[in-house]
Amino acid sequence: MKLSDSLQDVSGLEEPDFVVIDVETACARVSSICQIGIVGFRQGRETFAYETLVDPRDEFSTFNIRIHGISPEHVAGKPTFGDIHAVVAGHLSGRVTVAHSGFDKGALAAACRIGDLASIETTWLDSVRVAKRAWPQLSSHRLNVLSRHLGLRHRHHDALSDARAAGMVIVRAIEETGIDLQGWMAKPGKAGKAPPAAEVGPLKGQRIAILGEARDGTLAQFLAGAGARIVSGVGTTTTMLVISARQTYGRWVTADAQHRKAEELRGAGVRIEIVTEADLRARLSG
């Protein structure tokens, strides 16, 4: 963990598409913020970073110290949340703010309430929700697990590193699914709608489930453009399970519930094909 001696504020000139915040807390009270990291992103790249240790004016629990390594002596003489409230609000207000789960949102609200400070008005996006939809095959969507999966450099429970990693989750989800920021901001129930099947095409009549990619992503759009109907999961009427090219056909694939269900149905005599995206694209292009 990086224990900074002073505020870091490397501001870019461009307005970010979104900002990301992560906080660490001193104890079980979510208002006890002892570190804050904020990173801005525009068009897939970092535009500014801000990080500071914070004197929470609260006790430090042994449990929390073990998690992030921040102890009372590290925050001695550091600003309180009230001291930096205007800076944090300046970075978040009126923007899309990403946080990995609702913890950071709740911590900011609690710190504002405890300090009798104005609430920070921003539009929140949960990167856990994004990750679950972008990489449904993962057994966990914790930030350290996602960082390993995406090949990101990451120091878990360092607020600035966590903010950077959560921001890259959004960047990579946009790149890999084709769903833009506004698409990820869509209200639950409106997001994830499969594209309509083309009236004609080589996959006309096929009912296809996709493993390893969202059902409104680029693969789904390709298959629907070839006439396939994209279904939400493997069932008795599914004719094909397509393994996304973003995934390696290995242990996690065969262990996935959809793959197991497809194998069970085939064993019961149901005609359902299991095919990789690469093989299917080669077949259609040939």
User: Would the pLDDT of 241 be above 90?
Assistant: yes
Question: What is the average pLDDT value for the chain, to the nearest integer?
Answer: 89
Numbered ranges of CATH 3.30.420.10 in the chain: 8-185
Kindly calculate the radius of gyration of the chain based on its CA atoms and give it in whole angstroms. 22
Question: Which residue blocks in the chain are alpha helix, DSSP H?
Answer: 62-68, 72-75, 81-92, 103-114, 127-134, 143-150, 159-177, 181-185, 218-225, 251-255, 257-267, 277-285
Distant-in-sequence, close-in-space partners of 270: CB < 8 Å, separation ≥ 6: 236
Structure-model confidence comparison of residues 176 and 114, the more confident one = 114
The candidate with the shortest Cα–Cα distance to 259, out of 281, 247, 241, is 241
User: Would the pLDDT of 252 be above 80?
Assistant: no
User: Would the pLDDT of 134 be above 90?
Assistant: no
Whole-prediction pTM: 0.68
Residues 67, 157 contacting (CB under 8 angstroms):
yes
User: Would the pLDDT of 6 be above 70?
Assistant: no
Q: What is the pLDDT of residues 73-99, one digit of tens each?
A: 999 999 999 999 999 999 999 999 999
Mean pLDDT of the region 192-199: 87
CATH 1.10.10 fits 207-285, yes or no: no
Fold type of domain 8-185: Nucleotidyltransferase; domain 5 (3.30.420)
Numbered ranges of CATH 3.40.50 in the chain: 207-285
